[in-house]
Amino acid sequence: MSGHSTYQPKSGFTRWLDTRLPIVRLGWDTFIDYPTPRNLNYWWTFGAILSLMLVVQIVSGIVLAMHYTPTAKDAFASVEHIMRDVNYGWLIRYTHANGASMFFIAVYIHMLRSLYYGSYKAPREVLWILGCVIYLLMMATAFMGYVLPWGQMSFHGAVVITSLFSAFPVVGDFITTLLWGGFAVDNPTLQRFFSLHYLLPFMIAGVTVLHVWALHVTGQNNPTGVDPKSKADVLPFTPYATVKDGFAVAVFLILFCFFIFYMPNALGHADNYVPANPLVTPAHIVPEWYFLPFYAILRAVPDKLLGVLAMFGAIACLFVLPWLDTSKVRSMRYRPMAKIYFAVFVIVCIILGFCGAKLPDDQVIPGLTTFQLLESDLNSWVWLSRVATLYYFAYFLVILPILGLVEKPLPVPETIATPALSHPATVPAEAVAAPEKKG
Amino acid sequence: MLRKASVLAAALVLMAGGPVLASGGAEHPRNIAYSFDGPFGKFDQAQLQRGFKVYREVCAACHSMSLVAFRNLGDKGGPFYDPHYTNSNDNPYVKAIAAEYQINDIDSETGDTIQRPGASADRFPAPYPNEAAARGGNGGAMPPDLSVIAKARSGGPAYLASLLAGYRTPPAGLAVPAGQYYNPYMAGDVSSAWTGDHDHIPLGGFIAMPPPLKPGLVTFDDGTPSTIDQQAKDVSAFLMWAAEPKLEDRKQMGFAVMIYLLLFTALLYASYRRVWRNESH
């Protein structure tokens, strides 16, 4: 899609600049003239939403860093200082804290959209992998950010997650010592996490530039999964995609603001308003909601090292996904079997999230005692998470590779415009009456 | 659109499921209506003043509240806010309350440790000089700081009120350890102290704080009957204010933001329909 540029500098200055630094041309080609498939639905608006969230998080985070003190002694009180004494500090902090959750809601929808419509398939493998890198960086950033208020859940969450690396043979202890900056989670850990928490978002921004670049080379996928073949298939990014993205962003902001202003602590954990105390371990250590599915996979495996490997493997599957899916058809709209397996996959991810929030040995169905298997009752969250983990991996490693070979896809349309133009635009009556008199 | 809504709903369910904790087998906090509930909620100033009195005469004997300053009492939404004093440091109530406390300081000329009357800018002094002294004075248990306690406990102010007014005679068969008290709202596990029916272990846990409230313990200046429930409710409202002093600002701004966003969204939707009116998609 990075075809011939149609940019025409209009003034003397822009002509002068265009021959020296064609930055206006870059912006024109990227955000104005860029051809987008005309059939993109609302699932395609999450790219814009994610871009906005990245900006919101960086801007609010920079202001927070002006008032925050990254030492074990003062971190908790400095966060409360922001909440109480900094002008609109409560707004900035609640925006940043809830913004992290909103960022993850958007990224999960964005990723599931790619899974459903096959956006990771050739020629978009690099685009997809760059997205996976962004997701990994987001997880690291969010985890370190959650440590910064130095509450009970910050501290003990940091202990649990950093200790995972000690499971690796030979290098494990070295990695944990490096992460801690000592022999336990303490002041040096907090200070390096703060430093990295400030660094990683800019790395995310950098990889995002690559992600968008790769997108503009291959062009966007679309709900049919068919490549645009003519001008009839595409529309210029501005105004068509911008106005649709703008509307979706505004709807998303309503959800975001609802959390900020009316339930700012609903997504957090009450224990994180208790200052960190290494001597008192909370009854139940849980990560933030967006890590819960991976936490469930970790705990599903009885062996520590294998559990850690399973957790990282769950993310590694995403990286190699373009080569696991053997189907020639991109969009699951035309894959009747894959559609069903995908729906089950989404449900399984949500189930894993629930499993991650529960105590492993608690009963799923209250009052029902079955039999013990691998030291746990079959009616327990740990067994549910085992079954779900099995499906999670089977989806990537077994179902997608085999399905592409055995499934008989539905007929795929020749062009995007064929199905898109088969149902006419929904036009308000008055706009039809006199389109030329408006605007 | 419907599918998007269903995914969002699923995401919300997932998030709601996230922070849900095993409540440790404690009784669910009572349903208490507070004036600051809901999108237009505001603190009830008379209630905050009563709650402050309970805090000051009862809780403060053992609990610190180190993040709250005297000046906060006169901030907008606070118990002694007076619109005539936009700078709460000048509020005469605040100054008078602060002056009744003795604050540790050093003499700026000699460097000697001294005590001086509090000023509006000072924070509430802690009742004990250090943690060891606090534990020593309370049978080994540390009375938690109350600055953000209303946000630091699942259930919030309703939990605090339920706990404070919820002490009960332990059921027969429950051996309460020395220096501990049974409270059905306290998170914990009493199974090891229970000699009764193993299928009916009492809910709740043991707490080192003796029942702090008694009828008539605090005299409310506005004539409100001083029952245990009233004291518990008022002090929990005060502690919610202490934990979230900007709650009113937040909800008021939220309303304006929501109106703005709804209009903006409607405008964008209209623009979207207009831009796309001749294009199929």
pLDDT of chain B along its 281 residues, tens only?
444 445 445 444 444 433 333 334 889 999 999 999 999 999 999 999 999 999 999 999 999 999 999 999 999 999 999 999 999 999 999 999 999 999 999 999 999 999 999 999 999 999 999 999 999 999 999 999 999 999 999 999 999 999 999 999 999 999 999 999 999 999 888 888 998 888 888 999 999 999 999 999 999 999 999 999 999 999 999 999 999 999 999 999 999 999 999 999 999 999 999 999 988 76
Nearest partner of B124 among B79, B80, B44, B61, judged by Cα: B61
- Collect all residues of chain A within an 8 Å Cβ-Cβ radius of residue B7: 109, 112, 346
Q: What does the pLDDT read at residue B188? A: 85
Q: What does the pLDDT read at residue A1? A: 43
**Which tens digits make up the pLDDT trace of B87-137?**
999 999 999 999 999 999 999 999 999 999 999 999 999 999 999 999 999
Cβ of B154 within 8 Å of Cβ of A253? The answer is: no
Q: Are residues A133 and A211 in the same domain?
A: yes
Cβ of A84 within 8 Å of Cβ of B20? The answer is: no
Nearest partner of A339 among A409, A415, A418, A414, judged by Cα: A409
Report d(CA A267, CA A285) in Å as an integer. Answer: 15
Q: Are residues A59 and A103 in the same domain?
A: yes
Q: Tell whether A112 is within 8 A of chain B (Cβ).
A: yes
- Taking CA–CA distances from B253, the nearest residue in chain A reads A261
Is residue A182 pLDDT above 90, yes or no?
A: yes
**Residue B263 counted as domain residue:** no
**Residue A425 counted as domain residue:** no
Domain containing B209: what range?
23-68+145-256
CATH of the domain at B175: 1.10.760.10
The answer to whether B120 and B89 have CB atoms below 8 angstroms apart is: yes
- Which one-letter DSSP state was computed for residue A88? T
Q: Tell whether A367 is within 8 A of chain B (Cβ).
A: no
**Residue A178 counted as domain residue:** no
**Residue B112 counted as domain residue:** no
Q: Identify the three-state secondary structure at position B44.
A: coil
Report d(CA A305, CA A310) in Å as an integer. Answer: 9
Cβ of B148 within 8 Å of Cβ of A288? The answer is: no
For the entire predicted model, the pTM comes to: 0.91
- Taking CA–CA distances from A361, the nearest residue in chain B reads B22
Q: Are residues A215 and A307 in the same domain?
A: no
**Which tens digits make up the pLDDT trace of A268-279?**
999 999 999 999
- Taking CA–CA distances from A238, the nearest residue in chain B reads B275
Report d(CA A286, CA A153) in Å as an integer. Answer: 8
Domain containing A150: what range?
32-155+186-225+236-275
Region A417-435: mean pLDDT is: 52
How many Å separate Cα B53 from the centre of its chain? 15
For residue B33 the two structure tokens come to 């209506």
Query: How many domains does the structure of chain B reveal?
Result: 1
Report d(CA A393, CA A415) in Å as an integer. Answer: 34
- Collect all residues of chain A within an 8 Å Cβ-Cβ radius of residue B4: 42-43
Q: Are residues A149 and A74 in the same domain?
A: yes
Q: What does the pLDDT read at residue B23? A: 38
For residue A189 the two structure tokens come to 């850990």
**Residue B200 counted as domain residue:** yes
Most A CBs within 10 Å, among B73, B259, B276, B278, to test the A interface: B276
Cβ of A288 within 8 Å of Cβ of B18? The answer is: yes
- Which among A346, A420, A431 has the least Cβ separation from residue B281? A420
- Which among B17, B250, B276 has the least Cβ separation from residue A354? B17
Cβ of B253 within 8 Å of Cβ of A101? The answer is: no
Give the minimum alpha-carbon distance from B271 to chain A in angstroms, rounded to a whole number.
Answer: 7
Query: How many domains does the structure of chain A reveal?
Result: 2
**Residue B226 counted as domain residue:** yes
- Which among A244, A254, A283 has the least Cβ separation from residue B272? A244
**Residue B7 counted as domain residue:** no
Q: Tell whether A247 is within 8 A of chain B (Cβ).
A: yes
**Residue B151 counted as domain residue:** yes
Report d(CA A206, CA B34) in Å as an integer. Answer: 48
Q: Are residues A52 and A192 in the same domain?
A: yes
Region A128-157: mean pLDDT is: 97
Q: Tell whether A263 is within 8 A of chain B (Cβ).
A: no
Report d(CA A19, CA A5) in Å as an integer. Answer: 14
Q: Are residues A389 and A295 in the same domain?
A: yes
